[in-house]
Structure 1
Amino acid sequence: MNSRITHFFLLLICLILSSCFRHGDNTDGLPVGKRIQLQNVEDLYQFLTYDDNRYPLVSLHRGGPTSGYPENAIETFSYNASLQPVIIECDVRLSKDSALVLMHDNTLNRTTTGRGPVNASTLSELKKLRLLDNNKKITPYQIPTLEEALSWGKGKVIFTLDIKNNVPYEAVIHAIRKQRAESSVVIITYSANQAAKVHSIAGDLMISASINTVNDLARLNEKDIPDNRLLAFVGTREADPELTKMLHDHGIMCILGTLGNLDKQADKKGIQVYAGFIDRGADILSTDRPTEAGRALNFYIKKRGITSKFIQ
């Protein structure tokens, strides 16, 4: 009898520990179940303002496509967000009937079952297509509209929106307002003039600006864009330490594009390379390898005891 009781309690303890493990970090070292939870734009400003205890993040280039999950698809966003807190970089284009849809290329050829320019098809026609994954396999997933993505992502993720040529900022901002998604969005810009235009239309929205030199920041300051409305995309090579320090002194977080050569470097040398980028001043890694980068960042976060009230 005593042996049976002992066996029962040992089994019960194992089940409890197993349950705790499943609801914490998974075997890949990713913080399963955690989300970026922001209630308003003030939360967004606070979360994305640099301080010494900032929470390093992964940004999913084109939404983080992988086998079975195509780029710029809500299902892909959801899959990645189930693994770790994420920023989702995605691309906005116009259909023939002026609907805002998520699509990187100006044609449908590479990523869908369709052919021809995106803006030659109506939304109804686009919705009949299916998205292809990176292996050119047809998935069951459709091209999403921007509003569908924003509706899904509120309270879960942060979007950085790459607005393609001929897409009016006003239309994108209208969609953001309609979905009340201001606390979930950063608008990507490529020049001080673009950043100034976005800020003039919607002064409350955050902007990702290309900042490669001290002069780039000076031009943005001349446009009267507050520091707490800015993220700095510093390029696809590690930034000069002096530039990084200056940006951090302004409270501006740095996005490093590891997609391309830096991702290849990490693939060759090991995922600890990603933690090195954070150690040397990057705050957000825009990557094509979100699982590997996330694993490295999660280890970095746990080792340093970094927490955020906005990550739960």
Structure 2
Amino acid sequence: MSIRPHFFFLFLSCVLLLSSCFRHNGDTEGLPVGKRIQLTTVEDLYQFLTYDDNRYPLVSLHRGGPTSGYPENALETFAYNAGLQPVIVECDVRLSKDSALVLMHDNTLNRTTTGRGSVSERTLAELKKLRLLDNNKKITPYKIPTLDEALAWGKGKVIFTLDIKNDVPYESVINVIRQQRAESSVVIITYSAGQAGKVHNLAGDLMISASVKNLDDLARLNEKDIPDNKLLAFVGTREADPELTKVLHDHGIMCILGTQGNLDRQAAKKGFQLYASFIERGADILSTDQPKEAGRALNFYVKKRGISSKFVQ
């Protein structure tokens, strides 16, 4: 029996489609595809980010998790990564000439966009005409997002940690969070007890990520009367002293370890199971430039220990 030509070409097309799907899945094998962090109230956020023995370890996307074809601080990059695994999105907030809050790490446009010059010297309309570059300097179709756009997209999907640059008033960021009713999906990054205290005084319901490198740092935060359940501790870019980790965990405070840089390189050399070792030794959130690799390790860790959360679905 002969095969009619149009049936043959239909069959061949299906084979090629399936094979391309398998190749794509090989790139994301081991990742919990499609899981979201679904938080409705700020109390949900407190509960989810309070340490206990069954806490759900998470990947934090440094600058949003850029990769080939997906630039840093872009909504499309956030969505790509969130489609692979539950994520915290670390992103950067700057101010345009007309006081719009936009996502951009550098104070200039040169490295990550098709534009030149300072972000603060361009209006939002001018910034929106630009295109973002990926890490290979290739022009993408993606535009600079506003904070408002990011928060609107992220509700019920991800948690944001917002790195607010020096010239950006906390009040402006808090106003946008309020307007979007995004309190349940936002953590404000601070670098000193003074900054943490200021944010807490302005918006006592918001969660804060504070730099905690030693017990003295924790004591200074306690002096600001910030409740433990509204704190995350960024312990630095090398593993924290076990005594510090224990004290933080005893207070219910989860630890963010910055693996971007040296620790990511160690994992690439020694094997990506090293990310799970960081979790076993006390880290709870890994801020990484290698979210896929870290995600595979954490997914294996979660499955092996039977960890689950009603907020990760």
Q: Give the TM-score, by structure 1 length.
A: 0.92
Q: Deviations over 1:118-140 (max 9, x none)?
A: 00000000000000000000000
Q: Which amino acid aligns with 1:294?
A: G
Equivalent residue number for residue 301 of structure 1: 302
Deviation, 1:165, is 1.0
Q: Deviations over 1:34-75 (max 9, x none)?
A: 100000000000000000000000000000000000000000
Q: Which amino acid aligns with 1:206?
A: M
Equivalent residue number for residue 11 of structure 1: none
SS of 1:234's partner is strand
Q: Deviations over 1:129-168 (max 9, x none)?
A: 0000000000000000000000000000000000001100
Equivalent residue number for residue 44 of structure 1: 45
Q: Deviations over 1:178-214 (max 9, x none)?
A: 0000000000000000000000000000000000010
Equivalent residue number for residue 5 of structure 2: none
Equivalent residue number for residue 152 of structure 2: 151
- What pairs with 1:190-209 in structure 2 (closer than 5 Å)? 190-209=191-210
Structure-2 separation of matches of 1:145 and 1:272: 36
SS of 2:117's partner is coil
Deviation, 1:28, is 1.1
Equivalent residue number for residue 288 of structure 2: 287
Structure-1 separation of matches of 2:113 and 2:289: 20
Equivalent residue number for residue 7 of structure 1: none
Equivalent residue number for residue 71 of structure 1: 72
Equivalent residue number for residue 121 of structure 2: 120
Q: Which amino acid aligns with 1:232?
A: A
Structure-2 separation of matches of 1:261 and 1:75: 27
Structure-1 separation of matches of 2:312 and 2:304: 17
Q: Deviations over 1:217-255 (max 9, x none)?
A: 111001100000000000000000000000000000000
Q: Which amino acid aligns with 1:142?
A: K
Structure-1 separation of matches of 2:208 and 2:166: 17
Give the paired residue count: 290
Q: Give the TM-score, by structure 2 length.
A: 0.91
Q: Which runs of 4+ in 1 moved over 3 A?
A: none
SS of 1:88's partner is strand
Structure-1 separation of matches of 2:35 and 2:72: 22
SS of 2:120's partner is helix
SS of 2:209's partner is strand
SS of 2:246's partner is helix
Q: Which amino acid aligns with 1:227?
A: D
Structure-2 separation of matches of 1:170 and 1:241: 36
Q: Which amino acid aligns with 1:277?
A: F
Structure-1 separation of matches of 2:121 and 2:224: 37
Indicate yes or no: 2:180 matched with 1:215: no
Equivalent residue number for residue 261 of structure 2: 260
Structure-2 separation of matches of 1:188 and 1:71: 18
Structure-2 separation of matches of 1:216 and 1:36: 30
Percent sequence identity over matched residues?
A: 84
Equivalent residue number for residue 4 of structure 2: none
Structure-2 separation of matches of 1:132 and 1:265: 27
Equivalent residue number for residue 30 of structure 1: 31
Equivalent residue number for residue 232 of structure 1: 233
Deviation, 1:305, is 0.3
Equivalent residue number for residue 61 of structure 1: 62
RMSD of aligned Cα (Å)? 1.2
Q: Deviations over 1:85-117 (max 9, x none)?
A: 000000000000000000000000000000000
Q: Which amino acid aligns with 1:173?
A: I
Equivalent residue number for residue 141 of structure 1: 142
Structure-2 separation of matches of 1:81 and 1:176: 21
Q: Which amino acid aligns with 1:247?
A: L
Deviation, 1:33, is 1.0
Structure-1 separation of matches of 2:206 and 2:119: 27
Q: Which amino acid aligns with 1:154?
A: K
Structure-2 separation of matches of 1:101 and 1:39: 25
Structure-1 separation of matches of 2:223 and 2:66: 38
Q: Which segment drifts farther, 274-283 or 25-34?
A: 25-34
Deviation, 1:295, is 0.2
Equivalent residue number for residue 182 of structure 2: 181
Indicate yes or no: 2:114 matched with 1:106: no
Structure-2 separation of matches of 1:28 and 1:91: 29
